[in-house]
């Protein structure tokens, strides 16, 4: 991968991380998506975050990126306790982790099969 490609994904990964932190702190963020799409939004958000970090840091082992994004998902859910005034939503933590793992797997398969020589 080119360093320009990695820098672009690093910028995206940082911005996505900031947006997810904001979503955990801002009470209004919990009302952005309809409740029927709540878990899908969590899954997709963390899959995209994991893909962005994987493309930004292709030489970092996949397990470290997966653990980092899963850990961030747990931290974000803990932040929501204060930002959204509710208890820890274990189902959200599980869905975030599943999205993170799916994103890392997708990115690593893509990087392995389609990386230019």
Provide the pLDDT for residue 90. 86
Q: What are phi and psi of 84, to 5 degrees?
A: -110, 0
- Mean pLDDT, all residues of the chain: 87
pTM equals 0.86
Locate 48 and state its tokens.
């995209």
Say what percent of the chain tops pLDDT 70.
90
Residue with tokens 């940082």: 14
Residues 52-109 pLDDT 10s: 999 999 999 999 999 999 999 999 888 888 877 777 788 889 999 999 999 999 999 9
Instruction: Tell me if 39 sits within 8 A of 95, measured CB to CB.
Output: yes
The residues spanned by each domain of the chain are: 3-114
Locate 74 and state its tokens.
């747990």
d(CA 99, CA 57): 18
């Amino acid at each position: 991968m080119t360093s320009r490609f990695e820098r672009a994904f690093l910028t995206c990964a940082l911005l996505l991380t900031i947006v997810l932190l904001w979503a955990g702190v801002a009470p209004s963020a919990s009302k952005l998506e309809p409740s029927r799409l709540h878990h899908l939004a969590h899954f997709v958000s963390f899959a995209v975050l994991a893909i962005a970090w994987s493309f930004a840091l292709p030489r970092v082992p996949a397990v470290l990126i997966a653990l980092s994004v899963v850990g961030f998902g747990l931290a974000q859910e803990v932040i929501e306790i204060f930002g959204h005034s509710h208890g820890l939503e274990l189902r959200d933590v599980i869905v975030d982790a599943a999205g993170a793992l799916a994103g890392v797997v997708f990115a690593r398969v893509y990087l392995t099969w389609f990386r230019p020589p």
